[in-house]
Structure 1
Amino acid sequence: MKKLAFIGPLPPPLGGVAVINQSFQNIDYDGYEIIPFDTAEKKDREDIYGRFKFKSVQRNLNINKRLKQFIAKEQPDVINIFITSGMSILRDILFLKTMHKFNIPIIIHFHSKTKGEFALSPMRLKIVGKYFNKYASKIIVLSDQHYSFFVEYFGVDKCTVIENFVNYSDFENEISIKKEDFLFVGRLSREKGFFDLLEAVKILKQKKVFCRIQIVGVAPTERLEAEIDNFIKIYDLYDYFVFNGATFGDEKYTLFKQSRCLIFPSHFENSPVVLKEAIAAKMAILSSDIDANENVLQKRDNYISFEKGNSQKLASKMIIFITNPNRILSMCHASSNIKSYDVSVAQEKFTQMFNNLVLINEK
């Protein structure tokens, strides 16, 4: 049996790359054995927007050493590495250089935004493109919009689109037995819009409007957690929130199945898998109006959007959800009709890519 190596973080922490890496590894690739190499620190908290720390240099050099030993021992037939556009791309280029020496086909799964991160200036993208094109056989991007942006730097022959996906069977449920709860999934950070949600709930309480919000995720730092706790204490919002922590597997799926509406107020995203999980779970969706969200939701009838960062607008839209249950049920049914993000679509594309690369390498 041929070996397929996946290089990248696995949960914890609860982040998009780790979740989608796990999802790709859960696919049954006919004729391939999955061998994972986990790059995560295995902490519940991860401050991906914090300052660079010099102690991480030694840690990443140690990971690179272990990676070299891993590839030498396992001798995979294909390597898939998850890379983002933050500062960690410097480390990942080192990983690419190390793996390239083994003459094994490398697929870069570029889990990137198109603006606002370290590697995404035109000058830096030219440098990134130079290394990617040197070391990678294929470069996966997350959507047609990402393809249009990155193909200039990576080339038509290298780039291909495989969207993030979910296994719909994990989220199967009956809409009629859903609770009226909202669900928030993600880091409890400003970038994810969690502080916008806190302000919106404060407004709801002032208007004497009640709701319950299930929270999946943790604050990236203890300082932010303390700030959140203090805000809830000052405005007495305890009855509005249920904090479930960093929740995985069946426990997380159950929260999706039981909840009627996803709140997704993020300020920027790549191709958010959380929205696709909500669609698979037949949920109504309340999301910020950023391009990445609109690219997934595509003006369908299963969501309402609001202006990013505007807690007043978020509160007013939450009131619409709370006071119009029949409309929300209709949005749930609209989600149930969307099947385009199921695992089967990615499985076929990915398996064909592996097979082609192995055949080329064997010639």
Structure 2
Amino acid sequence: MIVGPLPPPVGGVETVTKALLESHAFREFEVRHCDTTKGRSKQTQGKFDLGNMWWAMIHFRRMLSNATSFKPDAVYMPVTATWSGFWRDAVLALIGRRVGAKIVGHVHGAWFDRILARKGLTGKLVRVCISQYDTLLMLGTPWKRLIESYGYRGNVFIVSPTVSWKCYEEGKTFVRRYENSFGKGLFVGQVGARKGVFELLEALQCLKVAGKKALMTIVGPPEFKGEWDTVMTCWKKLGLQDIVRFTGPLEGETLYREFRDNDYLVLPSHSEGLPIVMLEAGMFGLPVVATPVGAVTDVLEHERNALIVQPGDAKGLAEAIERVVKDAELRKRLGCELRRDVDRYQPDAICNRIAVAIVKTIEAKRV
């Protein structure tokens, strides 16, 4: 049984769930989907509010109904790295175990380390919840090391997120002209401090004051309540209204148009799981400037397929942006190398890895 939400809104979990349901990797399985879509904005995720509590109860009932009628051998499900989402997922896993299924959890999100770092009674409860998973799929090498150092005794595999088939197909057919640059950069993600938006604005102001060409399109919703107003205040205070535009969240063709129309992607995050936008940008041959957080360096290598700067380093970010804007050969080298590298993250490749992990979990004895 595949547990997970479907878009909209679009995110890594939703994209992987949709890819699994469409993939040929599960043609030898009898598959049922337990839909945990909420249809609420990303801004509400991780909150202990009445809306999320209501949807959690719906998902518990839905999981119980599907598990008791379908009686799966294995349950594949995302494990969320927000505090409220982690507990909801633990209950869903418990329901699956009660009908005798083995549980394969796919950990998503940037803050799973904070959950594992809990102490006292809540820390003990976290360990109990983690022990319910027979297998954990982690987004990259640092996350695999983290769960192994935690003392988790189940199977651990590295399985990254993927892009949608539509994004993959659109990117594969797009021909980028690296020699033509208008200094146009792109940020895609939740807008706020965690994603490094304030350092990005500071870097752009440095370039503007120095008379350097650097335009920026910022795509996405605010991550937390109140952050949008704070970002807008910073944007105006730094005098960036003429070079920085905000679009809000974009999906599908409108987002792909931004990938085509801009010259590079910048992702100056302070924490990440493994950002799907990095893979999407790579599909369109965009050179990337990013920070070495989460599992980013499982994909990006400084000076080979990306430029890497340290989180919070606005000056270093400005210098990297200036290099990408000015140097067509650099853009071409980084973009072409990344495009080749991210091809291994296409949907069927990732779905096959998940299918293999599920089979190994079913065949293994429960620890």
Question: Do they fold alike, i.e. is TM over 0.5?
Answer: yes
| Aligned sequence identity (%) | 19
Q: Is the 8 A contact 1:13 1:40 kept in 2?
A: no
Q: How does 1:145-164 map to 2 (within 5 A)?
A: 145-153=142-150, 155=152, 157-164=154-161
The structure-2 alpha-carbon separation of the partners of 1:154 and 1:349, relative to structure 1 and needing over 3 Å to count, comes to farther
Q: Which residue of 2 is the match for residue 171 of structure 1?
A: 171
CA distance in 1, matches of 2:18, 2:299: 21
Give the aligned partner of residue 206 of structure 1: 209
Q: Secondary structure at the match of 1:326?
A: helix
Distance between the aligned counterparts of 1:202 and 1:299, measured in 2? 24
Match of 1:130 in 2: 128
Which secondary structure does the structure 1 equivalent of 2:242 belong to? helix
* In structure 2, distance between residues paired with 1:21 and 1:89: 18
CA distance in 1, matches of 2:109, 2:220: 21
Q: Which residue of 1 aligns with 2:43?
A: 46
**Structure 2: runs of 5+ lacking an equivalent:** none
d(CA) in 1 for partners of 2:148, 2:348? 25
How far is the alpha carbon of 1:73 from its aligned partner?
4.9
**Which residue of 1 is the match for residue 198 of structure 2?**
195
Aligned ranges 1:227-266 → 2 under 5 Å: 227-266=230-269
Q: Which moved more, 1:188-197 or 1:268-277?
A: 268-277
* Aligned residues of 1:14 and 1:187 also touching (Cα < 8 A): no
- Could you list the per-position Cα deviations for residues 259-290 of structure 1 after superposition, in whole angstroms to 9, with x for gaps in the alignment? 33110001011122222222222221111233
**Aligned with residue 335 of structure 1, among 321, 334, 338:** 338
**What residue identity is the alignment partner of 1:84?**
T
Match in the other structure for 1:352: 356
Higher mean displacement: 114-123 or 91-100: 114-123
Contact map agreement 1:218 1:245 (CA 8 A) in 2 = yes
**How far apart in 2 are the matches of 1:157 and 1:92?**
17
Counterparts of 1:302-313 in structure 2 under 5 Å? 302-313=305-316
What CA distance in whole angstroms lies between the structure 2 residues aligned with 1:106 and 1:36?
A: 14
| Deviation at residue 121 of structure 1 after TM alignment | 4.0
Q: What's the RMSD between the two structures over aligned residues?
A: 3.2
Letter in 1 for 2:60: N
Distance 1:125 1:345 in 2: 35
The aligned runs of 1:53-64 (5 Å cut-off) are 53=49, 56-64=52-60
What is the match of residue 94 of structure 1?
91
- Matching of residues 253-332 of structure 1 within 5 Å: 253-290=256-293, 292-299=295-302, 301-332=304-335
Counterpart of 1:171 in structure 2: which amino acid?
G
SS in 2 for 1:147: helix
* Separation (CA, whole Å) in 2 of partners of 1:231 and 1:174: 36
Higher normalized contact order (CA 8 Å, seq sep 6+, divided by chain length): 2
1:295 & 1:352 partners in 2: Cα distance?
Answer: 21
For 1:111, the equivalent position in structure 2 comes to: 108
Structure 2 match to 1:21? 17
Describe the SS at the equivalent of 2:185.
strand
Counterpart for residue 226 of structure 1: 229
For 2:134 and 2:246, locate their aligned partners in 1 and report how far apart those are by CA, in whole Å: 43
2:189 paired residue number: 186
In the alignment, structure 1 segments of 5+ residues that lack a partner are none
Farther-moved stretch of structure 1 (210-219 vs 40-49) = 40-49
Q: 1:278 to 1:67 in 2, by over 3 A?
A: same
Q: Deviations over 1:221-240 (max 9, x none)?
A: 46222233333334442332
